[in-house]
């Protein structure tokens, strides 16, 4: 069984955390796969905590696709998250951990920003 881990940066803002959780729920509704969110810092759950929950609630998982809800490739994407995922691979050798790329320069992102500028 496959599952998805969504990683956000984390924020002290309650509104930011609520919106992150809304995106995670929307993904789960659209994919019908187990989806859980985690944060790099500033709020919970952390990546290891979220993975522990995901795996304990879904023991049949054999592949976890990790997608960052980050715009661009920075130190968290290049170093921090891969190091955490490597630790989880060692702890759960029967689960394949895959890591996707950040959102990046996507045409849809430009469309969203144009739409936001028109709202002003």
Gap between the Cα atoms of 51 and 53, Å rounded:
5
Q: pLDDT over 90 for what percent of the chain? A: 99
pLDDT for residue 106: 94
Query: Looking up tokens 């796969």, which residue turns up?
Result: 33
Average pLDDT (95-107) is 96
pLDDT for residue 13: 96
DSSP per-residue codes, 46-67: BHHHHHHHHHHH-TT--EEEEE
pLDDT for residue 65: 98
Q: Structure pTM?
A: 0.93
Angstrom distances, CA of residue 61 to CA of 23, 66, 98, 110:
22, 13, 13, 36
pLDDT for residue 70: 96
Gap between the Cα atoms of 81 and 37, Å rounded:
14
Known catalytic residue at 9: yes
Each residue's pLDDT tens digit, 44-94 = 999 999 999 999 999 999 999 999 999 999 999 999 999 999 999 999 999
Out of 9, 32, 39, 76, the active site residue is 9
pLDDT for residue 60: 97
CA angle 113, 102, 92 (to 5 degrees): 150
pLDDT confidence tier of residue 3, bands split at 50, 70 and 90: very high
Gap between the Cα atoms of 48 and 89, Å rounded:
11
């Amino acid at each position: 069984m496959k599952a998805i881990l969504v990683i956000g940066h984390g924020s002290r803002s309650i509104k930011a955390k609520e919106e992150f959780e809304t995106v995670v729920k929307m993904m789960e509704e659209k994919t019908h796969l187990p989806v859980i969110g985690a944060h790099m810092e500033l709020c919970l759950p952390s990546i290891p905590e979220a993975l522990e929950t995901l795996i304990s609630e879904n023991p049949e998982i054999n592949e976890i696709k990790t997608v960052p809800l980050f715009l661009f490739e920075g130190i968290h994407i290049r170093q921090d998250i891969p190091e955490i995922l490597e630790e989880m691979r060692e702890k759960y050798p029967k689960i394949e951990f895959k890591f996707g790329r950040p959102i990046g320069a996507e045409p849809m992102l430009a469309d969203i920003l144009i739409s936001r500028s028109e709202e002003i």
